[in-house]
Structure 1
Amino acid sequence: MDEELRQMALEVLEDIAHWSLRSSGWERVGRGLADMERTLRAADVTGFRRAVADVEMAGPHRISGVEEASSLPVPEVYRERVNELIHDLQAPREERPSAGAVNGGGPGQHD
């Protein structure tokens, strides 16, 4: 993964803490985070880039009164995923997850 993609992913992940979305929006973010985890561990750069874009697009783009009233802060389960991804992306290169490194490369607790 190139440094530009890594930095872009970190920026998106750090922004999530400030988002307020409807439940359906958080579900979309959760799917994107799961894809980020999976593709990062599989060293699938193209898939990871797509997953980062999916998470970013799931974020808030405008605020309206009705939607704002039903918006929620980031759910704890997603906050934990975000923290794990940030940790993985900030780890020295030799310590970053690779294919099969976590959960044997198969489905895990977040799938």
Structure 2
Amino acid sequence: MLNGTSLSSSRMDEELRQTALEVLEDIAHWSLRSSGWERVGRGLADMERTLRAADVTGFRRAVADVEMAGPHRISGLEEASSLPIPEVYRERVNELIHDLHAPRDERPSSEAANTGGPGPHD
């Protein structure tokens, strides 16, 4: 929690949560070059970190970073080098979607984020 609030405690934060869910649900349909997926991966890590820290400003920035890493008009040779979402990112997207749908008291806290060992996104 941040100052007694969470990401879902105000209307603005509910809009942010909905935007984040829309971006996360779109990712499964993206086809990007490997460098694009690396940017998405960094953004997903930032989303996870800021969600656990209840850092609304950081979470908003991370959502925007992921959205900006998404596909733009691609043509020619660039399209041939595009790849579907890597499985490790698909798992992280699913975890974030689950966390964002969870009731506030069931969402991961910063304590929970620091108790586990290295995972697929470390």
Q: TM-score if structure 1 supplies the norm length?
A: 0.92
Number of equivalences: 111
* Gaps in structure 2 of 5+ consecutive residues: 1-11
RMSD over aligned CA atoms reads 1.8
CA contact (8 A) 2:34 2:82 kept: yes
Aligned to 1:25: 36
Aligned-residue sequence identity (percent) comes to 91
RCO comparison, higher one (Cα < 8 Å, 6+):
1
- Structure 1 segments of 4 or more deviating over 4 A? 105-109
CA contact (8 A) 2:31 2:71 kept: yes
* Distance in structure 2 (CA, Å) of the matches to 1:106 and 1:69: 37
* Gaps in structure 1 of 5+ consecutive residues: none
Bigger shift: residues 97-106 or 51-60: 97-106
1:106–1:6 Cα change, 3 Å = farther
1:91 aligns with 2:99: no
TM-superposition CA deviations, 1:12-37 (whole Å, max 9, x none): 00000000000000000000000000
1:70–1:33 Cα change, 3 Å = same
CA contact (8 A) 2:21 2:100 kept: yes
